[in-house]
Structure formats: C-alpha cells, structure tokens
Chains A and B, each alone.
Chain A
Amino acid sequence: MSETGFECALPEVAADDDPLGGAVGAAVRSRFHVTDGPVRTVDRVWLDTFDWRLHAAGLRLAYTVGDGAHSLVLGPGAGESVQRLSAPVHWPSLVEDLPEGPLRERLRPVAGIRALLPIADTRSTIHELRILNAEEKTVVRARVERSASSPPRLSLVPVRGYARQAERVATLVAAVPEVAPGSGSDLDAALATAGRRPGGEAGPTAIQLRPGQGSADALARLLLGLLDVVEANVPGTIADWDTEFLHDLRVAVRRTRSALKLAGDALPEGVAKRFAPEFKWLGDLTTPMRDLDTLLLDFDQLTGELVEADAADLDAFRAHLQRHRAGERRRLVRGLRSARFGKLARAWRAELTEMLSPSAGEAPESGPANAEITSDDGPANAAALAATRLRRAWRRVVRLGASIAVDAPPQTLHDLRKRCKELRYVLELFGSLYPAGARRPLVKELKVLQDCLGAFQDAEVHRDVVRLHAVAMMDAPAASAATMLAMGELVARLGRRQRRAARESVTRFERFATPRNERRIAIATETP
C-alpha cells in the first residue's frame, strides 16, 4: 500500500452492526483491533474547472459542509488533503480567492486562472473507524462511506510511520472475494446520473473527419462544433466566472470567421456572405473586454518590470481599469443577451444542420472518394477541402512574410499575425485529415512564431489602452503625479517590448518559412 492509502468498494450488507460488513470485518479483526468512531453526514459540492483540469490531473476536489463546518478536500480518496475554512465559500470561485494554505498551493498550478465550478452535489454518511496494533496504537484510519448513489466504499489511510501494518490490513481486505479494489467516488456516480462526462466539452479539434466525407458536410460539422463552444461559454462569460470563458468564446468566433473566409465557398451559395458580418459583429463585441482582461492578467508582471516607478503607483490605474472593465462587461452582457445574438445562434445552427448529409456525410458525387475534384461548388470532399485550404493558407503566410522586416510598418506584422492564425486554424480544424507526422511539427513551430506575434500585438494594444486611459485618469480625483509618471514608464516599457517582439518575430518567421516546412505542407496536402 502506498502512502496514499487503499480504497475499495465493499459488498452491500444489510444493517449489520459491523460497519465494515461481515466478511471484511472478520478478516481485519482476525489480526487487528478495530475501534468504532463517529458517524457523520457529509454534503459535498464537487468542483472542477469548466475544462475539467482537475479531472485531467487525476484530482477530485470537494467542498464539504457538515456539523456547521466548511472544508475543502482534495483527493483522490485516501491520500487527501483537507483545509478547514473559517467562512463558507460561494462557488464558482477563483483559486486565488480561496484562503491561503497548502491546498490552495496544490490547486494553483492545476486550475491556473480558471474558476472552480460546482459540477455535482452528493450526500453521504461516513463512518470512521480506527485499526489498532497489539499496543492499542492506531496504525490505520478506516472510513466507510455510504450514499444512495453508489455501493459502500472503504478507504484505509495509514498513520504516518506505520506503512507496513497498513499494508497488512490492505492485504487482508483485498483477499476477501466480494471486495472490488480500486478507487471510485460519489462524484463518478453523481456525474453519471446527471448525464455528464468528465472531459466532455473537448472542443472542435476532437471532431473526426473522414477524407471521403462531403466537404459541405465536413465543414458544417466543424462549424457546429464551434457554435457549441461559443454557446457553452456564454453563461460563464456573462457571469464572469473567469476570464477564460470569454477567451474561449472569442477563439471559437475567430475560428468560425476564418473558416468562413478560407472555406466559405464549400458552403451553399450565399451562406458565408450572409453570416460573416454577423460573426464580425460578435467578435468586435468581445474585443474591448478581452483587451482589458489581458492587460489586467499581465499587470503584476508589467509593474514588476518598472524601474523608476513603484508598482504601488499604479494601484489607482488598476482600480480605474477594473471600474472600466465593469462598464465594458455590462455592454458585452447586453450584446450576448440581445435578440441579434439569439437570432444569429439559432439561424446559424439551423443553416448548418441543414447542410449535414443524411448518409453519415459521404460525398454525394460518385467517383473516386479521395480524389481532389474541385467543381464550381468548391472541393468535392473533405480531403480535397483540407488540402486546398492548407496550401492556400500557407501561401498567404509565406507571401506576406517575405515583405516583413524589422522596420516594417506594424500593419504588416498584424497582417502576418492574422495569416498565421488562419494557417493555425486550418491545421487544427482539419487536423484529423493531415498526417500527424507533418502536422505536429508544423503546429509546434507555428506556435512559437504566433507567440512572438501575439506579444507584439498585446504590447501595442496595451499601450493604446494605457494612453487612452491616461486621458480619463487626468480627470479622476485619485490620479496623482506619481501614477501618471508610472503610466508613462509603462508606455515606454510596452514600446520596448513591442520592438523586441517585432525583431523576434522576423527571426522566427525566417525559421518557420523554410523549405522543410514547405515539404511538410506538401506531404500534408498530398492526395493519394
């Protein structure tokens, strides 16, 4: 048995006086004393981030309420750490807003900036038992947990320094035939009841396309996936649980726009043209808030770099940004609750659903399934669509990149950034249709280039935000000379950052637009 203990499901027993159940109780008692401890009822709120980061890391977090006390319990099962809370917590909550302590430190790298959301509620009774050695010393803490939704579970937690005895207890228990070892929890049962699957909201990259699939059908499926992401992130954006909801919503909108632009011709006549302006509206609606979010997320890092000014000089500016953000948020919420957005989502879903071919998406035309046939209506099948669009996106990047230089006008770098994004989206959307050996290194190298271009863009946006707000700050009563000077230094820092990012982007571009990657593109777009 490891330090984290042993867990198993116990056979269901009738209201027996041995809480361990007959067979397991007899097995343990053959070698150890067992003393009975308290029984308590525990209500749990299970928590995870929207994108199931805890689940992906193999962790389970519960907020428990019982006996008037509130605690956070981070599992799995027996090796759990507990933090008692002096006051109730309202969920969702950001990790950084939790009371400090070792548990928060364990959660921080896992959840990051994502809020912890309630994902299920359970109630169970927990019977505590202690297992003693010959000296009557407790060597293992045992816990039998019963709930309506799952079979009783036993967990054994060795007392520190008694691993060997604990091992012996676990061996005795595991030898009982009716025992099913392994961890599980009420959480799994509760999620199953609620029809939720951990990791369920996996996103559009998980959509598998087949080469012979009709191109309109393939595209419609991808776009429906993106629409799902947009809609799934609306409630979290409106409630402002964390900043990633808006970010993910924006990414899905941008991907949609890129798909319309790069492959809209594969859709029925007029569709792309009709919806593109609506998605532009949606994208623009979210921009001011996101710009403030990125600046605020970066704030500590930025102020940490100040040389002349003190980070505290910018407190008034931060407060100002936060107030401003509240206003932007109201505007965004109005937009997301507007009839225009509602209509867009409904009409778009209806339109896309219409395009799905009934015969599981096979290309309607007869003829060789994998051939690249481009008719007037666009590419015949998914493979052809994926190939032509990747080639096109690559060409657009390379062509534009050739004209960038360190002193190129910022607009050129911005255009390059957009082209790179498009290339990235094509690589991701149609990812299942390209050979991984060519796609993966391309994405990896592209990502590095995009990071530089992103830093370039962020610095510019942030500088504009600071400048813009400097004017508003002048009129604010809280603005001191120190604050204004610090903002000045901030602008200078951002300018330096941007120039550095520009230089770096040029170098990165040269490393990306190589014959080797050209060959990878060729391999990825090859038709057999």
Chain B
Amino acid sequence: MRIFATYSIKGGTGKTSTAVNLAYLASRAGDRTLLWDLDPQAAATFLFRIKPRVKGGAKALVNRATSAADAIKGTDFEGLDLLPADFTYRNLDLVFDRAKRSRERLGRLLAPLAGEYDTVVLDCPPSVSLVSENVLRAANTLVVPLIPTTLSLRTFDQLTEFVQRSEPPRPAVVAFFSMVDRRKRLHRDLVEGLPGRRTGILPVSVPAAAVVERMAVERAPVPVFAARSPLARSYESLWETISQGPPAVSECSLEG
C-alpha cells in the first residue's frame, strides 16, 4: 500500500483538485484506491456526493470506536473509495494530542487497510499542525502543489528542510507547479527554468484552467468529462511521474 498526500501549508493551491484526480487515475490504472478527505471543509467528500459524516466523529475514529474500514464509502467510480471528511476533523489536532503516540495515529488507522488498498491518497487541510506531522509520518510521498512564485519556492524549501530534519520514517517530497498561467512571465520563467535544476521539483506542471470548475458540476474527476483537455493530460503525467516511485525524489528525502 503506497500512501500519497497532497500537502501545502497554504490553502487554495490545488491540493484537493490534485488529490481527487490522482486518486481517480490510480483507480483507473487498476489500483484499489482510497481517498481520505482530512479537511473538515469536506470539498472532496461533497464532490463525490457523499455525506461528510463519520460515525462518532474524529474521536471515535482515532480511538477506533469506529473502524476506518466501516466508515469508508464507495464512490461512483469503480475501484475508488472514500473515507469521508467530518465536521469534527477541525478538532483532529486535539484528538491526536490526547491519544497515545500522538504523531503516529493516522498511520496506525491506515495500517489495517493495507490488504484492501494498493494506493491511498490523503487530502490534507492547509496548516502546520499535529495533523500534518501525522501525515508526514504516514505518507510515502508528499505531493506539494506550488503556485509559481518566489515566495512559494522559499516555503517549499522550508518544508523539505523540515522533513529532512524530522526523524524517520520520512516521506519523499515532490512539488509541481500548479495553476500555471503561461501568459505570465514569472510563471513561464519558473516553470521552464527550475525543474531539473532543483531537486524535488517535478518536470510536470498543471495549467490554470477553467475546466477545473466543472468538477463541481459533473461531480467527477477531470479525465471523466474532459478526457482530452490539457488539464486532464497534465494530471495524467503527474500521476505517471509520481506512481513510478521516487526517482528524482530520493536524494532530497529518505537518505537526507
């Protein structure tokens, strides 16, 4: 079971859109896939027309009164299941904090599902918190969407440094440029110049595209309703790149 997490400190960078599309593409490739919507805003959950509700809330889940397996719902797409968000996830930090081994809880909740799923995608809320620490320890790969700005690059460097300093197990950290607008000079410069010269930045970028808004209307990942769109294509190459394991990734992660 491989665990990916879309992660960034900031909101609105494209984490949820990325998580939903990557999870769908994993299932389309034949992986038994689970998407866990960790964000109390429940954007991914709503997208699949699933009620954002886990019996007993975050507390029951973390203390295993409700097993993760029982909370899972199938989406309309074969091979893709969802562990829904719940309103109470906004207290997830606190619930983790009160539990024993508070930084490993999330991984432990996923462990029993290893036989059922090949791929897990975690859609994280924006923050640096105990939830993110749990994600760091549970995930094999952090996938970080970067808006092409100098500031976001600096934030990414801080994140990789933070991961390198933390104790193992450490995830591989990869970033890609998100919502790229080729008409903008800065975007062009960063997207064309950086990947390859900076470890951890993938040679794949996701364009800013209005078709993304249609996900909320169609209630489906982009490749389902706009298979030929550049956006679908870019999610596909992103999935291809990260699903092949950690290539350009390893030097910035595991070995430090």
Interface positions of A (Cβ within 8 A of B)? 84, 130, 135-138, 159-162
With A84-B30, A160-B81 known as contacts, the answer to whether A136 contacts B49 (CB < 8 A) is yes
For A133, give the chain B residue with the smallest CB separation: B49
Q: How far is the CB of B47 from chain A (nearest CB, A)?
A: 11
Is residue B10 within 8 Å, beta carbon to beta carbon, of the partner chain?
no
Q: Which residues of A contact B219 (CB under 8 A)?
A: 136
Q: How far is the CB of A33 from chain B (nearest CB, A)?
A: 12
Contact in complex: B74, A161 (CB < 8 Å): yes
Contact in complex: B49, A130 (CB < 8 Å): no
Convert B200-213 into 0s and 1s, putting 1 for each residue whose CB lies closer than 8 angstroms to a CB of A.
00000000000000
Is residue B76 within 8 Å, beta carbon to beta carbon, of the partner chain?
yes
Q: How far is the CB of B149 from chain A (nearest CB, A)?
A: 38
Convert B35-50 into 0s and 1s, putting 1 for each residue whose CB lies closer than 8 angstroms to a CB of A.
0000000000000111
Q: Which residues of B contact A159 (CB under 8 A)?
A: 73-76
A-B contact pairs, 11 of them (CB 8 A): A135-B49, A136-B219, A137-B49, A159-B73, A159-B75, A160-B72, A160-B74, A161-B72, A161-B73, A161-B74, A161-B81
Contact in complex: B73, A138 (CB < 8 Å): no
Q: How far is the CB of A157 from chain B (nearest CB, A)?
A: 10
- Closest 8 A-B residue pairs measured CB to CB? A161-B73, A159-B74, A160-B74, A137-B49, A138-B76, A135-B49, A160-B81, A161-B72
Q: Which residues of A contact B48 (CB under 8 A)?
A: 137
Contact in complex: A162, B73 (CB < 8 Å): yes
A135 to B75, CA, bound (A): 13
Q: How far is the CB of B150 from chain A (nearest CB, A)?
A: 43
Q: Which residues of A contact B74 (CB under 8 A)?
A: 138, 159-162
Q: How far is the CB of A135 from chain B (nearest CB, A)?
A: 5
Q: Which residues of A contact B50 (CB under 8 A)?
A: 137
Q: How far is the CB of B123 from chain A (nearest CB, A)?
A: 18
* Total contacting residues, chain B, CB less than 8 A: 13
Q: How far is the CB of B148 from chain A (nearest CB, A)?
A: 37
Majority-rule SS of A interface residues: loop
A159 to B30, CA, bound (A): 17
A100 to B77, CA, bound (A): 24
Contact in complex: B76, A160 (CB < 8 Å): no
A130 to B50, CA, bound (A): 16
Taking A137-B48, A160-B72, A160-B74 as known contacts, 4 extra A-B pairs with beta carbons closer than 8 A to each other, sorted by chain A number, are: A137-B50, A159-B74, A162-B73, A162-B74
Contact in complex: A130, B73 (CB < 8 Å): no
A138 to B220, CA, bound (A): 13
Q: How far is the CB of B40 from chain A (nearest CB, A)?
A: 20
Q: Which residues of B contact A160 (CB under 8 A)?
A: 72-74, 81
A130 to B49, CA, bound (A): 15
Contact in complex: A137, B72 (CB < 8 Å): no
Q: Which residues of A contact B81 (CB under 8 A)?
A: 160-161
A480 to B92, CA, bound (A): 63
Q: How far is the CB of A238 from chain B (nearest CB, A)?
A: 38
Q: How far is the CB of A474 from chain B (nearest CB, A)?
A: 45
For B70, give the chain A residue with the smallest CB separation: A161
A137 to B75, CA, bound (A): 8
For B84, give the chain A residue with the smallest CB separation: A161
Q: Which residues of A contact B51 (CB under 8 A)?
A: 135
Kindly name the residue among A84, A135, A161 whose own CB sees the greatest number of chain B CB atoms within 10 A: A161
A159 to B82, CA, bound (A): 11
Q: Which residues of B contact A135 (CB under 8 A)?
A: 49, 51
Identify which of residues 64-92 in chain B touch chain A, using a CB-to-CB cut-off of 8 Å.
Answer: 71-76, 81
Q: Which residues of B contact A138 (CB under 8 A)?
A: 74, 76
Q: How far is the CB of B167 from chain A (nearest CB, A)?
A: 34
Contact in complex: B76, A130 (CB < 8 Å): yes
Q: How far is the CB of B50 from chain A (nearest CB, A)?
A: 7
Q: Which residues of B contact A161 (CB under 8 A)?
A: 71-74, 81
Q: How far is the CB of B53 from chain A (nearest CB, A)?
A: 11
A130 to B73, CA, bound (A): 16
Q: How far is the CB of B234 from chain A (nearest CB, A)?
A: 25
For B79, give the chain A residue with the smallest CB separation: A82
Q: Which residues of B contact A137 (CB under 8 A)?
A: 48-50, 76
A162 to B73, CA, bound (A): 7
A162 to B75, CA, bound (A): 10
A503 to B49, CA, bound (A): 69
For A160, give the chain B residue with the smallest CB separation: B74
A160 to B72, CA, bound (A): 7
Q: Which residues of B contact A136 (CB under 8 A)?
A: 49, 219
For A35, give the chain B residue with the smallest CB separation: B76
A186 to B48, CA, bound (A): 35
A162 to B74, CA, bound (A): 8
Q: Which residues of A contact B73 (CB under 8 A)?
A: 159-162
A281 to B74, CA, bound (A): 62
For A137, give the chain B residue with the smallest CB separation: B49
Q: Which residues of B contact A162 (CB under 8 A)?
A: 73-74
A135 to B30, CA, bound (A): 27
Convert B48-62 into 0s and 1s, putting 1 for each residue whose CB lies closer than 8 angstroms to a CB of A.
111100000000000
Q: Which residues of A contact B30 (CB under 8 A)?
A: 84
Q: How far is the CB of A225 from chain B (nearest CB, A)?
A: 44
Q: Which residues of A contact B76 (CB under 8 A)?
A: 130, 137-138, 159
Kindly name the residue among A84, A130, A137, A162 whose own CB sees the greatest number of chain B CB atoms within 10 A: A137
A135 to B71, CA, bound (A): 18
Q: How far is the CB of A518 from chain B (nearest CB, A)?
A: 52
Q: How far is the CB of A177 from chain B (nearest CB, A)?
A: 31
Q: Which residues of A contact B49 (CB under 8 A)?
A: 135-137
Q: Which residues of A contact B75 (CB under 8 A)?
A: 159
A58 to B181, CA, bound (A): 58
Q: How far is the CB of B137 from chain A (nearest CB, A)?
A: 27
Q: Which residues of B contact A130 (CB under 8 A)?
A: 76
A162 to B48, CA, bound (A): 14
Q: How far is the CB of B83 from chain A (nearest CB, A)?
A: 10
A161 to B75, CA, bound (A): 10
A135 to B51, CA, bound (A): 9
A369 to B219, CA, bound (A): 81
Q: How far is the CB of A276 from chain B (nearest CB, A)?
A: 55
Q: How far is the CB of B158 from chain A (nearest CB, A)?
A: 39
A161 to B74, CA, bound (A): 6
For B76, give the chain A residue with the smallest CB separation: A138
Convert B156-178 into 0s and 1s, putting 1 for each residue whose CB lies closer than 8 angstroms to a CB of A.
00000000000000000000000
For A138, give the chain B residue with the smallest CB separation: B76
For A135, give the chain B residue with the smallest CB separation: B49
Identify which of residues 177-204 in chain B touch chain A, using a CB-to-CB cut-off of 8 Å.
Answer: none
A332 to B54, CA, bound (A): 65
Identify which of residues 116-130 in chain B touch chain A, using a CB-to-CB cut-off of 8 Å.
Answer: none
A130 to B219, CA, bound (A): 15
Kindly name the residue among B49, B74, B219 whose own CB sees the greatest number of chain A CB atoms within 10 A: B74
A84 to B30, CA, bound (A): 8
